[in-house]
Structure 1
């Protein structure tokens, strides 16, 4: 059910991008009740001039290696689950990719279950 969009500056290796996607996927399956094989991700690189963000916000200072992660998913996770999820992504980003914790911006977009079709024009989750 989650649809993940990851946006980052152009120039990272295919292995880096794949690892970043796997970090998000593993955190989803481990912490926010996403079933195995429910992986739909688009990872897009951009020229630096196409990423527009402030140098700092809410105590975070961003570098050119900023990563934007937006996940559209069914509503229903607790705040505690979300906090653990955010932390896990940042911790794994730092340990596996050597990234800066400040450079991870995550946004969850919660939707109703009937807003999905996984093929054949069928709303598989609609009840």
Structure 2
């Protein structure tokens, strides 16, 4: 936890996707201090006509390597989120050659009652986690 979803244009190789996911996981570990095996990632690939990511007037020039990262998590501080933004962009540049201007990140926050990791239990509420 958190769950990290990646929306990308189709066409990346398995090794490119693995590099992207591994880099993103390092950013999660660094910014949020979660355990190593606390890894929940989902990739969705889209045809170019189905993923339109413009620049919100900030002057970003998007490439075919654009990635939209959606994070669903328990509450995190502003400092943790900002650190994640920096760490993720650095990791994606180093590991997958994705420019920081091609990275769009959004957080959705929920609470402990919104998580079950299996077995029909709310592990944050039961004290298992």
Which residue is equivalent to 1:68? 68
- What residue ranges of structure 1 are gaps of 5+ in the alignment? none
Count, aligned residues: 125
TM-score after normalising by structure 2: 0.89
TM-score after normalising by structure 1: 0.90
How far off its partner does 1:116 sit? 0.5
Counterparts of 1:32 and 1:58, CA distance in 2: 30
Which residue is equivalent to 1:80? 79
**Deviations 1:25-57, CA, capped at 9 Å, x for gaps:** 111112212222111111111111110222x22
Mapped pair 1:14 → 2:14: yes
User: Quick check: 2:30–2:87 contact (8 Å CA) kept in 1?
Assistant: no
Counterparts of 2:78 and 2:13, CA distance in 1: 33
Task: Give the root-mean-square deviation of aligned CA atoms.
Answer: 1.4
Counterparts of 1:24 and 1:96, CA distance in 2: 9
Displaced runs of 4 or more, over 2 A: none
Residue 125 of structure 1 aligns to a residue in which SS?
Answer: helix
**Deviations 1:73-101, CA, capped at 9 Å, x for gaps:** 111x2212211111111112112222211
Counterparts of 2:124 and 2:110, CA distance in 1: 12
Residue 89 of structure 1 aligns to a residue in which SS?
Answer: helix
Q: Whose strand proportion is higher, 1 or 2? A: 1
